[in-house]
Amino acid sequence: MKKLISIVLAVISAVSLLTVSGCKTTENGTITIAVPDGAPTLALYSVMDSVNTLEGYEIKYKVLSGSENIGKTLVSGAADCAIMPVNVAAKLFNAGNDLKLLSVNVFGVLYMVGKENLASIDDLKGKVVVTIGKGATPDLSLKVVLDGNNVAYEDAESAVNGKVALNYVADAPTAMKTLAAGKADYAVLGEPQATVACKNLNAQIVMDIQKEWTKLIGEDTFAQAGLVMNKNVYNNDALASALLDRLSKNADAVMKNPDKVRSVVQKYGSSLQVNFTKEILGRCNLGCKSATSIKGSIENYFNAILNYDPTFIGGKLPDDGFYY
């Protein structure tokens, strides 16, 4: 009898274990998507809001406080995917890291703000423009625009006769403080910081960097940020395709739910405090195009800035292996 009871208990125990195992939310494990805080988090809004599992994987999100460590997070294996500047992805790829670009999701968020309007780009001569990070995307993008309009510039913290003085700072808060203190006439900022600066400093957006870029380089060539995958994801075509499908719905979802955006991204650790409107979100130029479908536009973006700093993308155009 005792032996029979033991057998019955063993069977019950085994069934219980199977039942518990069957309650797992995924079959294949976890996929972590990392994103720097700020405008890039908006590229994941609808995915964060609705996707907990995908193709048998549990999906987790990691919002980083700054963009400087996003590449390390991906190549170290701390994340399987990341929204990052496309040039950073190319640089990592050219350095021998095993990754692929799935899509471009942010087509430029850069704006020049100031208290005085600009009749033309020539009006910047003799003015001080503060921008973030020498050699970074805001700096290089502005230089392409200035050179394309034959406006000279040099590094300086005070006005230079007949030239634009470029004053570099570390981050957006410092740029806004410099502008507020009257030490600069204009600042190049990304949304939503550009809107914050306009509100707090009684300033206005005086230049859309993307529009000026388009005049010089062409439509849809400002491929600022996209989703990059390591081999855990790009080797799984079903998973990569499902992720691309979800990302393709994001831009419409953001514009339909401006009041919901902040709470969703804050849920995963974003510090964004902006009350988003359709106007602000429209200036974030969100979208989703597969990397392969716009390879030519991405290469035009790279080529436009290679002359300024070849290290921007690791010294050369990435080969076809970069594009999923």
- 13 part of a folded domain: no
pLDDT per position as a tens digit, 131-159: 998 888 899 899 999 999 999 999 999 99
Q: Are residues 294 and 167 in the same domain?
A: no
Q: Looking at per-residue confidence, does 18 or 154 come out higher? A: 154
Q: How confident is the model at residue 11 (pLDDT cuts 50, 70, 90)?
A: very low
Domain boundary residue, one of 159, 182, 217: 217
The mean pLDDT of 229-247, rounded to a whole number, is 97
Q: 213: domain CATH number?
A: 3.40.190.10
> Does the pLDDT of residue 233 top 60, yes or no?
yes
Q: Are residues 101 and 226 in the same domain?
A: yes
Q: How confident is the model at residue 248 (pLDDT cuts 50, 70, 90)?
A: very high
- What percent of the chain is predicted at pLDDT more than 70? 91
Q: Are residues 213 and 115 in the same domain?
A: yes
Domain boundary residue, one of 217, 236, 252: 217
Burial 117-137, CB ≥16 within 10 A → b, else e: eeeebebbbebbbbbbeeebb
> Does the pLDDT of residue 308 top 90, yes or no?
no
Mean pLDDT computed over every residue of the chain? 90
Q: Looking at per-residue confidence, does 5 or 78 come out higher? A: 78
- 257 part of a folded domain: yes
- What percent of the chain is predicted at pLDDT more than 90? 79
Q: Are residues 63 and 132 in the same domain?
A: no
Q: Are residues 101 and 33 in the same domain?
A: yes
Q: How confident is the model at residue 27 (pLDDT cuts 50, 70, 90)?
A: low
- 78 part of a folded domain: yes
Quick one: pLDDT at residue 10?
43
Domain range for 153: 110-217
Global pTM?
A: 0.85
Burial 6-31, CB ≥16 within 10 A → b, else e: eeeeeeeeeeeeeeeeeeeeeeeeeb
DSSP letter, residue 80 = S
Nearest CA to 302 among 289, 294, 312? Answer: 312
Give SS3 for 149: coil
Q: Are residues 83 and 152 in the same domain?
A: no
> Does the pLDDT of residue 238 top 50, yes or no?
yes
- 3 part of a folded domain: no
> Does the pLDDT of residue 20 top 60, yes or no?
no
- 124 part of a folded domain: yes
Is the separation of the CB atoms in 82 and 88 below 8 Å? Answer: no
Quick one: pLDDT at residue 307?
79
Domain boundary residue, one of 174, 193, 217: 217
Q: Are residues 198 and 140 in the same domain?
A: yes
Quick one: pLDDT at residue 14?
41
- 9 part of a folded domain: no
> Does the pLDDT of residue 21 top 60, yes or no?
no
Quick one: pLDDT at residue 305?
84
Number of domains composing the chain:
2
